[in-house]
Structure 1
Amino acid sequence: MINIREATVVSEKDQPQSNSRRNFLKNSGIAIGGAVIGGAAISSVFLGRKTQQAQPAAPKPVEYNQALMFFNQEQYQITEAAAERIFPKDELGPGAKELGVAFYIDHQLASPWGINARDYMMGPFVKGEPTQGNQSQMRRADLFLLGLQGLKDYSQKKYNKDFQNLAENEQNDVLKVFEKGEEFTLNGATTKSFFSLLRSYTIEGVYSDPMYGGNKDMMGWKMRNYPGNQMSYTDLIEKDEFIKMEPMSLRDHMSH
C-alpha cells in the first residue's frame, strides 16, 4: 500500500502545466485510492471481528424426535401426565415427562407395532389366561386411544376435570382404579389391559435407546449406570471392580 505521505507531487515549475496536473492527479489518486482501499480493508477486518464476537450462541440442534406422529395435543398431554405418575421425578433423577416418554409412546403407536402388523389377528379370539397377556382382537393403537378417552371420561365424572389437570394424588387414584380394572369399563376392552400397556410403554420409554424418542440425553441410563450401546467390552470384561462408563446411543455410532 502506498503511503500517502510518500506520494510524489511534481512541481509545476519543472513540468508543463498539463503534464504536472496529470502527474499530480495520477500520483495523488493512487495514494488516496490506496489509503481508502487499505482503510476499507482494515475496517472490514475489525468490523468482521466485532461482528463475529457479537454473534449469538449457536442454536441447539433440533430434536426431531420431539414431534408428534400419532397423538393430538390432548392425547399427548394425558399420556405425558399418566406416564409421569408411573415413573415420577424424584431425588434420584428425572421422571417420564422430562425423559420424553410420551414421545416414545407416540412413535411406537404410529409404527407397525401399534397396528399389530406382525401379530396373527384373524381369530378365533378367546379370553386368555392372565399369563398369556392380551388376547383381544383390538390393535394396540386403538386400545391406547380408548384408554386415554377412558381416563378423560372417568376424571370428568369423578372430579369434573380433565386427567392432565388433576392433582397428583387424584391422578394416582384414577390410575389405581384403571389398574384394578373393576370400577370403570371401556367399550370393548378393560382398563386393566390399557393400564398394563401404558405401564410397559412407560418403562420402555425410560430405558430405550434415545433414537426411539424417550430416554432423553440418556438420563434413564445414567440413573442406572448403564453403559448403553458400547462397541466393545473386551478390554474391561476381566476387571474385578465396577467400571462406570459414559453411555453411548446408537446415534453416537452413526455419527462416527
Structure 2
Amino acid sequence: MTNEKKGLSRRDFLKTTGIATGALVGGGVIGGLIGYNAKKDGKTTTDTNAVGGHEAAAVRGLMFFTNQQDFHVLSQAVERIFPEDDLGPGAIGLGVPYFIDNQLAGNYGSNAREYMQGPFFAGEATQGYQSRLTRAEIFRQGIARMEEEAQKRYQKGFAELDGGQMDEILTSFQKNEVEMKGVSSEFFFRLLRQATLDGAYADPIYNGNANMDGWRMKGFPGHQMAYINVIEEEKFQKIEPKSISSMQH
C-alpha cells in the first residue's frame, strides 16, 4: 500500500511490486468480458461522475453494489492504494471502482469457474484461494468491516476520514489485525490490492484504465497490430496505446 507520509511515490510503488517490469495484468485474468462503449477511433466513451468527491471517467452504472455508501468506501480505499499524483490519475480517475464493481457482478465475484468444494482449511500466505466464501461475499464483508473500523476508531464513516486515518485502517487489514469471518483480513486486502492494479492496467473494455491513462503512465502501447515500422529503430518509441476495441472496426 502506498503511504504518502513516508514519501513512497507511485513510481517507487510500481517498481517494488514488479508491475514496472512489464508484466502487465490483462483484463481476461480477472473475469469475463463486460459490456463497453467504444468510438470508432478506438477510444472508450466516457462520462464524468463524482465519486466520493473526485471526478471519475469510466463506463457508467453499477452492476454489483446496490448501496452507494459501500461504493464510496470502495472508491476511497482503492484511491489510497493507487493515489493520483503528478504522474497521472489515481484509481478513481482511472475508473477502478467501476471495474471492480463490474467484475464482482460476474464470474470473478461468484468464483463460477473455480473449484469451491470443501474441506476448507486456513491457507498459508503462499497458497492460492482457500476460503469457502466467494469474492463477492469477501468484498461485501471487507467493506462493511472497514466502515465498522472507521466508526469504532474515529466515529466517522470510512469515506469521511482523512488519508492518514484510511491508511491506518487499511494497514490493519494488511497486517491481519481485523477479525473477519470465513476469511482473513490480510487475504481481503490482497484481493483488494490486486483488483486495484488489475483495474488500473486492464484493457479499457473491462471498464477500468480509463482512456488508457494507466498504460500511458507506463509508456505501454497496449494492443498494436504490429511493430514492423519501428522494430529496427534504436531509439525508444513512444507509441499511442490502443485498446482491443480498436481492432474490431
Normalized against structure 2, the TM-score is what? 0.75
Which position in structure 1 is the counterpart of 2:219? 225
Partner of 1:162: 157
Secondary structure class of the residue paired with 1:76: helix
Question: Pairwise CA RMSD of aligned residues?
Answer: 1.6
Q: Indicate yes or no: 2:139 matched with 1:144.
A: yes
CA distance in 1, matches of 2:207, 2:144: 23
Aligned to 1:107: 102
Candidates 160, 165, 169, aligned match of 1:174: 169
Q: Match of 1:130?
A: 125
Q: Tell me by how many angstroms 1:236 deviates.
A: 2.4
In structure 1, what is the equivalent of residue 208 of structure 2?
214
Secondary structure class of the residue paired with 1:231? coil
The CA deviation at 1:211 is 0.8
Q: Say whether 1:204 aligns with 2:180.
A: no
Q: For the structure 1 residues 207 and 62, does the alpha-carbon distance in structure 2 shift closer, same or farther, using more than 3 Å as the test? A: closer
Equivalent position amino acid for 1:95 in 2: G
Larger radius of gyration: 1
The reply on whether 1:81 has 2:66 as its aligned counterpart is no
Shift of residue 114, structure 1, vs aligned partner: 0.9
- Note closer, same or farther for the CA distance 1:241–1:253 as it changes in structure 2 (3 Å cut): same
Do the aligned residues in 2 keep the contact of 1:65 with 1:211 (CA within 8 Å)?
Answer: no
Query: How far apart in 2 are the matches of 1:150 and 1:233?
Result: 48
Partner of 1:41: none
Q: Distance in 2 between matches of 1:193 and 1:235?
A: 45
SS at structure 1 position matched to 2:190: helix
Corresponding position of 1:190: 184
2:244 corresponds to: 250
Following superposition, the deviation at residue 61 of structure 1 comes to: 5.1
Give the equivalent residue in structure 1 for 2:229. Answer: 235
Q: Which has the higher helix share?
A: 1
Amino acid across the alignment from 1:185: E
CA gap 1:95/1:242 in 2 versus in 1, 3 angstroms: same
What is the CA-CA distance between 1:132 and the residue it aligns to?
0.9
Contact in 1 for aligned 2:215/2:222 (Cα 8 Å) = yes
Q: How many residues align?
A: 195
* Unmatched 5+ stretches in structure 2: 1-43, 48-57
Once residues 87 and 101 of structure 1 are traced to their aligned partners in structure 2, the CA distance between those partners, rounded to angstroms, is 10
Determine the C-alpha separation between the residues in 1 that align with 2:119 and 2:175.
26
One-letter code aligned to 1:190: S
1:91 partner amino acid:
D
Q: Which runs of 5 or more structure 1 residues have no equivalent in the other structure?
A: 1-59
Identity %: 44
Counterpart of 1:206, as a letter, is: A
Structure 1: distance between partners of 2:235 and 2:146: 47
**In structure 2, distance between residues paired with 1:70 and 1:187:** 21
SS where residue 132 of structure 1 aligns? coil
> SS where residue 130 of structure 1 aligns?
coil
CA contact (8 A) 1:181 1:192 kept: yes
Letter in 1 for 2:122: K
- Aligned ranges 1:43-122 → 2 under 5 Å: 65-72=59-66, 73-122=68-117
**What does the per-residue CA deviation read over 1:35-57, in whole Å, with 9 as the maximum and x for residues that have no partner?**
xxxxxxxxxxxxxxxxxxxxxxx
Describe the superposition over 1:154-212 as per-residue Cα deviations: whole angstroms up to 9, x where unpaired. Answer: 10000011101101111111101111012x20122211111100000000011111111
Q: Name the CA distance, whole Å, in 2 between partners of 1:91 and 1:62.
A: 22
Amino acid at match of 2:150: S
For 1:128 and 1:180, locate their aligned partners in 2 and report how far apart those are by CA, in whole Å.
16
Q: CA deviation at 1:99?
A: 0.6
Partners of 1:163 and 1:221 in 2: how far apart? 30
